[in-house]
Amino acid sequence: MTGPLNGLRVVEMGGIGPAPFAGGLLGDLGADVVRIDRLARPGVEPETPPRFDFYNRNKRSIALDLKQPAAVEATLKLVARADALIEGFRPGVMERLGLGPEICLTRNPRLVFARMTGWGQEGPIAREAGHDINYLALTGALHCLGEADRPPSPPLNLVADLGGGAMYLVVGLLAAVIEARQSGRGQTIDVAMIDGVTHLMSAFQAYRQQGSWTEERADNIVDGGAPFYGSYQTKDGKYVAVGAIEPQFYASLLACMGLDPADLPPQNDRASWPATRARFAEVFRTRAREEWVAAAAGRDACLAPVLSIDEAPNHPQMRARDVYASFDGLRHPSPAPRFGRTPAGLRRATPPAGGDSREALSDWGLSPAEISALAAANAMTQA
């Protein structure tokens, strides 16, 4: 293994969304992540073929029937050797399985038990179903996103699931592992997406209380209200994005556009923003996207092309940094961030459920007899 987390052992309870993304990030950075999957059902294909399930690369899969006590006991034996456990079920599910934090921490007092939910472990709607857009809605973030005269627009599922959820889980897990190595005591981490998104909204909460942020969409400095921070259609029907907030960058943008500052209202005159935006839109429609990119090159105008998902890998900057890697015959996002001495890497393609059952159980200390007994009881399968 390579990566700065080489030697870290993580048990991940199989699921979807932000918890697997967090486990995948840990795996990219070198952790030994073993995913506990459900037994594969004969004749039933997974919704996503394993090789396209990028969240579960750099992991191993053990398929266990957690309705059987022998499988629960096997999981607890893995827990006893783990640094951390990740689970993303609704509150109470792990307890019903016999794998709640009290039991796991009794088996391994140094364990970090990381729990991922949308709403949190307690509260009046803690057990209700939801997805990224629902969690985003409750925090006030969704209300800020989109055009002024249209419904709020979801930013894919990047903000709640991955930003407010998975990333906070990784930070919390690593912080607790460091502390456990000093104190000898593990703990439970309650990772709620509504907590993480609210924390991400810190600056906007401050701006609102300061009086510099309104509750109207596309009316503020970084929500598309300011003419110098937004996207514009170009002559060829494509788009450029501008983010020239600072005065010197705004001056460079105007020069790039061929506009005289004396002919425009002051940059931060909010009352004039709609008119200035209309003027900018008119100018940007006079050239194709790549013409604008060429005109802005080297001028600190904070202008970039809005690339499609298929165009992005071919941009010279993306290619120079190898932001994408060829792996298992597919184009994968490369591990991030970059480490100078202990580089992360792509080591394992996503396995099918149970693809590593025997190997991983053996590596984590179960005896051949214990593994054979699990298989004989149909509590474990090897894909």
Find the CATH number of the domain harbouring 250.
3.30.1540.10
For the record, the structure tokens of 55 come out as 């969240």
The answer on 282 and 370 residing in a single domain is no
The answer on 162 and 34 residing in a single domain is yes
The answer on 340 and 308 residing in a single domain is no
pLDDT at 325 over 70: yes
Active site residue 143: no
The answer to whether the CB of 110 falls within 8 A of the CB of 81 is no
Record the pTM. 0.95
Structural domain boundaries enclosing 347: 9-200+325-381
pLDDT of residue 46: 73
The answer on 123 and 78 residing in a single domain is yes
Give the tens place of pLDDT for each residue, 18-32: 999 999 999 999 999
Percent of the chain at pLDDT > 90 equals 96
Q: Which of 267, 292, 314 is the last residue of a domain?
A: 314
Give the tens place of pLDDT for each residue, 115-135: 999 999 999 999 999 999 999
Residues contacting 204, CB < 8 A, separation 6+: 144, 213
The active-site residue, picked from 131, 190, 315, 363, is 131
pLDDT at 63 over 80: yes
Give the tens place of pLDDT for each residue, 150-185: 999 999 999 999 999 999 999 999 999 999 999 999
Beta bridge partners of 116: 191
Active site residue 310: no
The answer on 180 and 99 residing in a single domain is yes
pLDDT at 44 over 80: no
Residue 19: half-sphere exposure toward Cβ, Cα within 13 Å: 27
- 30 in a structural domain: yes
- Which band of pLDDT confidence, cut at 50, 70 and 90, is reported for residue 2? confident
Helices 193-200 and 202-210 meet at what angle, rounded to 10? 50
The answer to whether the CB of 235 falls within 8 A of the CB of 288 is yes
Rounded mean pLDDT of the chain? 96
Phi, psi of 353 (to 5 degrees): -55, 120
Number of domains in the chain: 2
pLDDT of residue 303: 98
Q: Which of 288, 314, 340 is the last residue of a domain?
A: 314
Q: Which of 290, 314, 338 is the last residue of a domain?
A: 314
pLDDT of residue 383: 86
The active-site residue, picked from 37, 161, 195, 356, is 161
